[in-house]
Structure 1
Amino acid sequence: MNEDVTSVSPTLGFIIKTIDFMGYKLNIWDVGGQRTLRSYWKNYFEKTDTLVWVVDATDRLRVGDCREELAGLLLEERLMGASLLVFLNKTDVEQCMTEEEVRERLGLNLIKTHKWTILSCSAMTGNNLNEGLKWVVQDAKDRLFLY
């Protein structure tokens, strides 16, 4: 996204950004993932088209917690109908988890209530970030033509 990521730190609270992508305006709400902030997440679900869930590919210890939180979110009424993009971040780091490992450990294949996909990416290099946003846009376009 052409931003300097060398000094990025975890989001505390939330950040709202609007980006132009492929002729569409995407409103992106970056909501912090710290345990103390999670009870506030549901305040930001209104009119959500896609939930982008970012997983740290180098952090095997927190995948169980990640799975529980994601499963709980997908039960939220305000996220019914929303699609799910799982970004597997830091895949440029050696010994990171693979897409298949994360798919299994998060139980993604068990998700039947939401359309979903998983993409390896790197916030540092930008690898696959545009591909993820393309998926989000195409998914939204496909759903618009269903109604």
Structure 2
Amino acid sequence: MGQARSSTSPQVILMGLDSAGKSTLLARLLTGQVMETSPTIGFNVGTLDLDKKTSLTVWDVGGQKSMRPNWRYYIDDCKALVFVVDSSNPTRIPEAQKALKKVLTEEKLRGIPLMVLANKKDLPNSMTIREISNQLDLPSYTDRLWEVQACSALKGLGLQQAFMSVNKLIKKS
């Protein structure tokens, strides 16, 4: 993945459970291609250019259970949290809800905007935005700006729009 060009682009952390599609999503955003990915041990980082003047440095942090205690080490200078869920796998949403709630208790993330990406919306029987929002208990997060958007990392649908929204959330916060 690419190197951050300058420290002026806001840092965005991409988190979520393993197999939610974070690395596929970042690779698709950075290269426009679907790349073969394997479970992320540690992190991937890249600079996403939204337009001629705006870029975001996106950190994709491994989501395996053994990696989650380390999430807090990646949140320094974080301007937004992008939490990716697999909308085609409702059985893992309770685990995602716990992981999200835990990371949002970190002092360094106080008031930081949250974007939840409902990935894999191209798959049949994927959950609705409302179902995901309610099961992740998002309405209870009254201390921060948050949004939920549907996307498909494989098809590239909704990704650019989602990160444009992330940038708007950063500017509002």
The corresponding residue for 1:101 is 131
1:57 to partner: Cα distance: 0.7
1:90 aligns with 2:90: no
CA contact (8 A) 1:49 1:81 kept: no
The corresponding residue for 2:154 is 124
TM-score by length of 2: 0.78
Higher relative CO (CA 8 A, sep ≥ 6), structure 1 or 2? 2
1:36 is paired with a residue whose SS is: coil
Q: Point out where structure 1 has 5 or more consecutive residues left out of the alignment.
A: none
Q: Point out where structure 2 has 5 or more consecutive residues left out of the alignment.
A: 1-28
* Aligned Cα root-mean-square deviation (Å): 1.2
The corresponding residue for 1:46 is 76
1:81 to partner: Cα distance: 2.3
1:7 aligns with 2:36: yes
Structure 1 residues 10, 98: closer, same or farther in 2, change over 3 A? farther
The corresponding residue for 1:70 is 100
* Percent identity of paired positions between Structure 1 and Structure 2: 34
Q: Could you tell me how far apart the structure 2 residues matched to 1:122 and 1:103 are? A: 17
Q: Could you tell me how far apart the structure 1 residues matched to 2:39 and 2:126 are? A: 19
TM-score by length of 1: 0.92
1:56 aligns with 2:56: no
The corresponding residue for 2:142 is 112
Q: Deviations over 1:79-118 (max 9, x none)?
A: 0121000000000000111111111111111111211000
Which one-letter code corresponds to 1:9 in the other structure? S
1:7 to partner: Cα distance: 1.4
Q: Could you tell me how far apart the structure 2 residues matched to 1:10 and 1:131 are? A: 26
